Amino acid sequence: MAWIVALVVFSLLTVLGMVQFITALIAATPSSQARWTWAGVYAIGLVGVVYSMLAGTDESGESIPAAVVLLVPSAWVAINAGFVRLWYEMGASIRARGGTNDLPPDADQLAGRASRLALLGLALTAVALWGLGAPQQFVAFVTQPGHRLAAAVIALAVAGWAALIAGGVRVALGAGHEMTHEEIEEMERTTKFGADVHSPLLQRRSVYRIYGPTKGLEGSATFTFDEIRDAWRSGLWRRDPRWQTVFMMMFGAIAMVVGGAAAVFLLGSSTTRMVFAGVLIYAAIQATLGIRAGRKKRGSDGSTGQ
């Protein structure tokens, strides 16, 4: 059908315009002409996608719902605007610590506009999902008598995952070091293909290339159980941003594990429950042994120092 061909063509044009527009937008020495040119290509592609979907029909001959037509560009724009905002935050974090300053001169204005555009895209996405009935169906499902507890533990696991990711982003933005282009390529390679000795030789010898601008931050933090306990007792977790991040990630990890484990026990088969219970018991034993060994080592080090 003609509308499918048009949708494919305009989708490719949208991707091309998006890549080139964002590249021109975040360039350290931006070109106004390049920005406007690729913004026009991007806009034409998005408008073409919307027009193609409005002209499209399903197998029964019915038009594509307007909510679906609204959902696609709204979610797409929200994701891209969020990417621009994240790029700015990483660049600002690197600049604040004396690193490479490759942000464009109008970066602050772009960051504000990107935030507003992302919020608008999210709002329109929510409207589209409401029009499709997704929230209503979800609420109807979770409020059924047999699904309430399962929905609660799944929500707990999702909230924990979100808190863990947010904490990791805060660590990277607050104390992470700037990654080089080669480090980012290597990270992508190991993520996609693996790099341990058990990986196939072809994967271990593979290379991964990223063409275009890149920006990355890598951060880590190490704390002992005694330090975490003292931070809790002294109330540092309420006042110190660093400890707020640590406890956010701890809550996220615990909530994700507890919620995920509860979901497995509620929704899994008896065999799955037994296997998972064995894994949890083994992990608990290993964690306990590790904590005890660490305390003994610190105690012996303290005695030797005296």
Per-residue model confidence as pLDDT tens for the chain (306 residues):
688 888 899 999 999 999 999 989 888 888 999 999 999 999 999 999 999 988 877 666 778 888 988 999 999 999 999 988 888 888 888 777 777 778 888 888 999 999 999 999 999 999 999 999 988 888 887 777 777 777 888 888 889 888 888 888 777 777 666 777 777 777 777 776 665 545 555 555 667 777 777 776 676 667 777 788 888 888 888 888 888 888 888 888 888 888 888 887 777 778 877 887 888 788 778 777 776 776 666 555 554 444
Give the separation between CA 29 and CA 180, rounded to whole angstroms. Answer: 20
Amino acid identity, residue 245? T
Residue 165's pLDDT is 85
Q: Which two tokens stand for residue 72?
A: 């696609």
Full-model pTM: 0.69
Residue 44's pLDDT is 95
Residue 299's pLDDT is 59
Residue 304's pLDDT is 46
Q: Which residues pair with 218 in a beta bridge?
A: 177
The pair phi, psi for residue 223, each rounded to 5°, is -140, 150
Termini Cα distance of the chain: 83
The pair phi, psi for residue 159, each rounded to 5°, is -65, -40
Give the separation between CA 22 and CA 178, rounded to whole angstroms. Answer: 21
Give the separation between CA 16 and CA 1, rounded to whole angstroms. Answer: 23
Give the separation between CA 4 and CA 2, rounded to whole angstroms. Answer: 5
Give Rg (Cα) of the chain: 25
Residue 194's pLDDT is 62
Q: Which two tokens stand for residue 274?
A: 């037994």
Helix 66-96 to helix 32-55 angle, to the nearest 10 degrees?
160
3-state secondary structure of 226: helix
Quote the distance between the C-alpha of residue 183 and its chain's center. 19
The pair phi, psi for residue 139, each rounded to 5°, is -65, -40
